[in-house]
Amino acid sequence: MRTPFTPNPAHPFQLVKFLSLSSLLLILGASLFMVVVIGNYAERSVMAKDKEFSRLLAENLNHQIYQRFTLPTVLGFGKVELKNKAQYERLDQIIEYTIHGFKILKLRIYDLKGRVSYAEDKDLLGKDVLDQRDIEPALDGETRYVVQNTSQSWWSYLRLDLPPQSYVLKTTFPLRTEQSLSPAHQGVIIGVLQFTQDITEDYEKIRSFQALVTSVILVSAMILFFLLYVIIRRADRLLGERIQEKERLERELHQNEKLASMGRMLASIAHEIRNPLGIIQSSAELLAKRSAKAEDTGYNRLSQAIFDESRRLSRTVNDFLDYARPKEPKMNPVSLGTIIGQAVEFLDHELTKSEIRIVNDVPQTAVVSGDKDLLYRAIYNLLANACQAMRGSGRITVEWNEERRALTIDDQGPGFDTDMDQKYVEPFFTTKDTGTGLGLAIVSTIIGNHRAEMHLGKNPDGGGRVEIVFPRDAREEGNAQPSGTGPKT
């Protein structure tokens, strides 16, 4: 039983495909992890920049408030009282001038007890609204930064365009005294400054950067996987075809080895049978002649039957020997018209008996290079096979195409099935009730040894067709590749 991970010999890249898919998932997972890491790093970098900017703004506010408001107010009025309208407006002008253009959403100043001393909303003056988590670090001299996400939906984390004030940075900074008339009072905390800034635009840049990195990594991973997949598919297909071709050749080699062994055995048996069979045939012929002279009808029929059957058995033995020990053709100019005429003449008795007419349209000038005896044997077998296939009266047409160097034999039989073209030339394969199944096999061997090609099929009228294509001349014949023992389709 084959599991999903067991490699198929015909498709050895199945495991590679699985590993490539696993690699893709691993690459995607690693890519997403890299996106998160890179995004967090970018966010920390941007936040560090925003915090540094907020600290510089807070220090500037501290300097402006102390130098331009606190110190002059103490010298002019003796103390700071923001309930005094003139002092409050003076402080408000200084703050507005300092924070102008810095996207400050709100700004408040608290006293050391956490009560509001200054705010854009005067109704908050004197109220205790400062969070203890902010005031305690500030009174200890620590600057505190808090990022507030005003959008609570998960969808907001996937959006690239955020509404204003989606992300707000709240900075809590301790207000200190600077250089004054008394150095002992320098750096003393005199209040708490708190302001908020809209940093949504920075987060949009972070998300755009994350989306760009994600897109580049994912697209690169998909392209690499697609190229790898295409290469693996092509390699798998080519290797699969080669493995199938190798298996086919191995099967053919194994079959040929079996046939060769069988041929050697049959040749040995046929050789041993032929000699006594020749004696039986000649003896039966002699008995038939003596019986005819003695006018003994009974013995004449028996001796004639022995002679006919021994002659048929002799042809069968010769077929075995011809297939097992094919002769090497002697290449000489041969007239196909002459050979076909001789074969038709030899088949005349059988043709007359079956009421079959052979139309020979092959001219005497149709000359090919080959062995006359072997070509006669091949053409005779093809004509005899056509007669047997028709099983009744009809016509067999033999034609020659000089341009294609092709000899065509058409009959009015059932024709050849193109799906079984290789089967017809296999030894011992026959569709008839009688016969050895070596006829077309021997013909195919003879044609192949002449460097020609044989095609089996059907003619336009539905009957059988055999086409033999010969090399054009001796030079082409010498350069042609052997076509083997079987026909080409």
Domain assignment of residue 450, yes or no: yes
Given this model, what pLDDT does residue 427 score? 62
- Split at pLDDT 50, 70, 90, the class of 377 is confident
Tell me: do 194 and 333 sit in the same domain: no
Report yes or no on 379 lying in a domain: yes
Q: φ, ψ for residue 330 (rounded to 5)?
A: -95, 110
Domain that holds residue 475: 328-479
- Residue 40 maps to a domain: yes
CATH code of the domain in which 362 resides: 3.30.565.10
Residue 474 lies in a domain: yes
Phi-psi label, residue 187: left if phi above 0, alpha if psi -120 to 50, beta otherwise: left
Where a domain ends, among 198, 231, 250? Answer: 198
**Mean pLDDT computed over 439-448:** 80
Q: CA-CA distances (angstroms) from residue 482 to 134, 377, 446, 450, 476? A: 97, 20, 12, 8, 12
Residue 381 lies in a domain: yes
Q: Which of 167, 198, 229 is the last residue of a domain?
A: 198
Q: What's the whole-model pTM score?
A: 0.45
Q: Using CA atoms, how far apart are residues 482 and 489, in angstroms rounded to an integer?
A: 15
Query: Do the domain assignments include residue 124?
Result: yes
Residue 1 pLDDT: 45
**Coil, helix or strand at residue 457:** strand
Count of the separate structural domains present in the chain: 2
Report the CATH number that the domain containing residue 62 is assigned in CATH.
3.30.450.20
Residue 416 included in any domain: yes
Range with the lowest mean pLDDT among 119-133, 279-293, 448-462?
A: 279-293
Classify residue 204: in a domain, yes or no: no
pLDDT digits (tens, 9 = 90+) for 298-327: 666 776 677 667 766 766 666 665 665 666
Residue 174 confidence (pLDDT) = 92
Residue 66 Cα distances to 60, 61, 94, 315, 433, angstroms: 10, 8, 10, 131, 123
Task: Tell the burial category of 140 from Cβ atoms under 10 Å away from its Cβ (0-12, 13-18, 19+).
Answer: exposed
End of a domain among 146, 166, 198? 198
Which phi and psi angles does 367 have, rounded to 5°? -110, 135
* Six-digit token string for 228: 């790898």
41 band by pLDDT with thresholds 50, 70 and 90: confident
Q: 């048996």: which residue's tokens? A: 269
